[in-house]
Amino acid sequence: MKTVNTALTPDDLLQYLIDRVIAVTDALTGSIMIINPADNILEIRVSRGLNQKKAAATRLKIGEGITGRAAQAGKPLIVNDAGQNPDYVRIRTDLVSELAAPMIVNSQVIGVISVDSNRKNAFNEEHADILMSIADFAAQTMEKIRLIENLRSRIDDQKCLLDIARILDDAADFPVMFESIMTVLSRHPGLRRGMIVLADEQNVLRTAGGYRLSEQAIKRGVYRPGEGIIGSVFTDGKIKFIPDISRSREFLNKMKIRRSPREKNSFFALPIKSQKSSTGGIIGVLSIEKKFGGENDAQNVIELLTIICGLIANRIYIFSSARKEKEELLDQTRSLKQELIKKDTGNIFFGKSSQIIKLQEMIGIVADTDATCLITGETGSGKEVAARQIHYKSGRWEKPFVGINCAAIPENLIEAELFGFKKGAFTGAVNDRRGKFLQADEGTLFLDEIGDLGLHLQAKLLRVIQEKTVEPLGSDESIRVNVRIIAATNKNLKEMAEKKTFREDLFYRLNVIHLPIPALRDRKEDIPLFIRHFLAVFNKRHNRKIPNLTLQAEQALCGYSWPGNIRELENCMERAVIVCRKNTIDIQDLPESILAGAMKADSGPLKLQVLNEMKNHASGNIYNNIITKVENILLEEALINADQNQKEASKYLGIHRNTLRQKIKELGL
Ligand SMILES: Nc1ncnc2c1ncn2[C@@H]1O[C@H](COP(=O)(O)OP(=O)(O)O)[C@@H](O)[C@H]1O
Ligand SMILES: [Mg+2]
């Protein structure tokens, strides 16, 4: 026997064995048939002396022909006169004798080696013995080949897994990831199609990725739990293997894929199990269709797919926890945003007067409704602050608060500002523009100075409020909007309605909830509060550290009538913080108008000042302390006026020069 070296292919080796058998048994033809595990049919693997085409087409059932019977019996069979034997299957017309011996591995018949002759009585027992020993050798060779092939395919599978693991690490999103997994899998020999379905929120399985599936097929690939093989794997979690789908009744072919009748395809479906230990539920199904490759191959495929399912589940878990983390972060940002809004003093409606406390309560009540509000009050009284407060206390707080000042924009532009326009609606409309209504969608629209809106636009506004749709200029399309409207004015709309300068119907619409904000002069107890508030705000803004203001200054501010309300007070405080040269804001840091007003105020400031100062001293110390303070101020002012000339100052004060000297010494001036 020639030594068998590695350059030989398995078929070369089998071919060599056939030639040896023919030579030893003095036969004319010979073949090795192997049982295809897919259908248990003998197919010719190598042959000699036979028409190759015919040989390739020859398929025998176990038990069919002499070869089939040898396979069935597991023993060699001799036919020496084919004409007498009905079992004989003739491949060549001149053959009359046949000797067949089964190839057995681990007591399992895997094929048959047979020789034929054109002579009658060509084979005897001795030939049969020789053939049996060669058949054994061939069987072992086949088994080795199978093991090597198996090993090779396992190595390929390992490579495939490595590639998939890499894809899972890199993939940024699911569709890309599933697509790539399928592409890698397609390197597996014989893969025809593949699909990953995942359950959606309604527990309906939908295609998340596919290989060799058309768009339509993917659209059709929707399964309810329990429906078909995929649906049942999803419900019972068991791996499903169908050796031949053409013979399966279970196989739905929902995707309506046409398959050649000659193809023998197997189907594998495996559950993708959630990695969340708490649920451990099934989240999807991985399925593939591939050329049948025998039981062993099926085992390998299942092993490979099981690992892939695990990898996918792991990835999904990581994805979803990342999403959860993102949502948590979003939640955090949301609450931080809320905190910021709360801290942004522009959004806080301050006040401790009873009127403001009532107003705050009212704001709290109306905030969570979508009711239209009308805020009235003098300029600077806080109408916009109140409107913002309503918005930020409402469920719309995260959506935009959009304001428009109807008095500040020319009448002919307001319409476009409010409702938007289409490109080309008028000269200059070079692009589409979303109006304030659309900008405020789902949020709040603040219509400031509504009393200044022209009658024509009042009619249009009323229509939008009633119909909840806007039509941009130059467009005939109505767009639905969900906007909460808050209007504000310092005018008396009721009076205007009576005089027909404001539409009565619009007035009633807006006036559903009326929030009147009292003038600052009518809630004087809020003044000190705002003084402290603005002092803090402007110290910070201008980098100053002025802790307080003098009694006189505070007195002056409290006595003033504030026609410009809080805005005026705010401006006044800012100016004071900027101009103040000392540690305390004093009356000289305040505008003339305020001082003049304070002088006219009814309660004498000196008396108030003294009364206030009295509070600063313990009983028994009051007289000397206050008199000393007054003396101090008096002498200091007199000296300043006299340019530090003591003689002149004492004359001015009407006291003796020595007395003045004495006092200066005592007071340390
Ligand atoms: N209740 C209030 N709490 C805090 N700040 C206020 C309050 N009322 C008014 N302001 C401040 O006064 C200024 C004027 O308020 P604003 O709402 O614009 O008045 P209006 O819209 O009535 O003219 C703003 O700078 C605002 O910050
Ligand atoms: Mg305003």
CA distance linking residue 280 with residue 297, whole number of Å? 29
The per-residue pLDDT for range 599-625, each reduced to its tens digit, is 555 455 666 677 767 777 778 888 888
Q: Whose CA is nearest to atom 13 of ligand 1?
A: 567
CA 567 to ligand 1 centroid distance, Å: 6
- Provide DSSP, 436-487: HHHHTTTSEEEEETGGGS-HHHHHHHHHHHHH-EE--BT----EE---EEEE
pLDDT at position 216, please? 80
Q: Give residue 367's pLDDT band: very low, low, confident or very high (50, 70, 90).
A: very high
Is the pLDDT assigned to residue 2 strictly greater than 50?
A: no
The answer to whether 38 and 26 are in contact (CB under 8 A) is no
* Phi, psi (degrees; rounded to nearest 5) at 91: -100, -30
pLDDT at position 145, please? 80
Q: Which of 341, 363, 385 should be mutated for ligand 1, with most atoms under 8 A from CB? A: 385
- What percentage of residues in the chain have a pLDDT greater than 70? 93
Structure tokens at 597: 């007003």
Domain ranges of the chain: 10-150, 171-321, 348-518, 524-667
pLDDT at position 370, please? 92
Q: Which of these, 407, 491, 501, lies nearest to 417 by C-alpha position?
A: 407
Q: Whose CA is nearest to atom 24 of ligand 1?
A: 567
The per-residue pLDDT for range 52-101, each reduced to its tens digit, is 888 888 889 999 888 999 999 999 999 988 777 777 777 777 888 999 99
Is the pLDDT assigned to residue 374 strictly greater than 80?
A: yes
The per-residue pLDDT for range 99-122, each reduced to its tens digit, is 999 999 988 999 999 999 999 899
Q: CB neighbours of 200 closer than 8 A, spacing ≥ 6? A: 206
Ligand in closest contact with the CA of 490: 1
pLDDT at position 247, please? 78
- According to CATH, what is the number of the domain 10-150? 3.30.450.40
Structure tokens at 512: 């559903």
**Number of neighbours of residue 307 by Cβ within 10 angstroms:** 16
The answer to whether 558 and 527 are in contact (CB under 8 A) is yes
Same topology between domain 10-150 and domain 171-321:
yes
The answer to whether 266 and 292 are in contact (CB under 8 A) is yes
Which fold is adopted by the domain 348-518?
A: Rossmann fold (3.40.50)
* Phi, psi (degrees; rounded to nearest 5) at 428: 100, -15
pLDDT at position 12, please? 84
CA 434 to ligand 2 centroid distance, Å: 24
The per-residue pLDDT for range 302-358, each reduced to its tens digit, is 988 998 898 888 888 887 787 788 888 888 887 777 777 666 656 678 899 999 999
Can you tell me which atom of ligand 1 is nearest the CA of 570? Answer: 12
pLDDT at position 321, please? 80
The per-residue pLDDT for range 452-509, each reduced to its tens digit, is 999 999 999 999 999 999 999 888 889 999 999 999 999 999 999 999 999 999 999 9
Is the pLDDT assigned to residue 255 strictly greater than 70?
A: no
Lowest mean pLDDT among 2-6, 165-169, 225-229, 509-513: 2-6
CA 396 to ligand 2 centroid distance, Å: 21
Can you tell me which atom of ligand 1 is nearest the CA of 379? Answer: 23
The alpha carbon dihedral of 550, 555, 558, 559 has a sign of: negative
Can you tell me which atom of ligand 1 is nearest the CA of 448? Answer: 21
Q: Which of these, 95, 96, 73, lies nearest to 84 by C-alpha position?
A: 96
CA distance linking residue 283 with residue 88, whole number of Å? 56
CA distance linking residue 209 with residue 198, whole number of Å? 9
Question: What average pLDDT is seen over the chain?
Answer: 86
The per-residue pLDDT for range 543-560, each reduced to its tens digit, is 999 999 998 899 899 989
Q: Give residue 277's pLDDT band: very low, low, confident or very high (50, 70, 90).
A: low
**DSSP state, residue 153:** H
Ligand in closest contact with the CA of 382: 1
Question: What are 30's strand-pairing partners?
Answer: 48, 115
Q: Give residue 1's pLDDT band: very low, low, confident or very high (50, 70, 90).
A: very low
Q: CB neighbours of 114 closer than 8 A, spacing ≥ 6? A: 30, 31, 33, 66, 67, 70, 98, 99, 100, 101
Number of helices followed by number of strands (H, E) in the chain: 23, 23
Q: Which of 353, 374, 384, 446 should be mutated for ligand 1, with most atoms under 8 A from CB? A: 384
Q: Whose CA is nearest to atom 8 of ligand 1?
A: 382
CA 407 to ligand 2 centroid distance, Å: 10
CA 570 to ligand 1 centroid distance, Å: 9
pLDDT (average), residues 360-380: 94
Is the pLDDT assigned to residue 6 strictly greater than 60?
A: no
What CATH architecture applies to the domain 171-321?
2-Layer Sandwich (3.30)
pLDDT at position 568, please? 96
Q: What's the one-letter identity of residue 313?
A: A
631 or 380: which leads in pLDDT? 380
CA 572 to ligand 1 centroid distance, Å: 14
Is the pLDDT assigned to residue 4 strictly greater than 80?
A: no
CA 350 to ligand 1 centroid distance, Å: 9
Q: Which of 343, 567, 570, 574 should be mutated for ligand 1, with most atoms under 8 A from CB? A: 567
Can you tell me which atom of ligand 1 is nearest the CA of 377? Answer: 22
Q: Which CATH class is domain 524-667?
A: mainly alpha
Which residues form ligand 1's pocket by a CB distance below 6 Å? 346, 348-351, 377, 379-385, 566-567, 570
The per-residue pLDDT for range 154-163, each reduced to its tens digit, is 888 888 888 8
Q: CB neighbours of 27 closer than 8 A, spacing ≥ 6? A: 21, 99, 115, 116, 117, 122, 123
pLDDT at position 3, please? 46
225 or 446: which leads in pLDDT? 446
CA distance linking residue 433 with residue 612, whole number of Å? 60
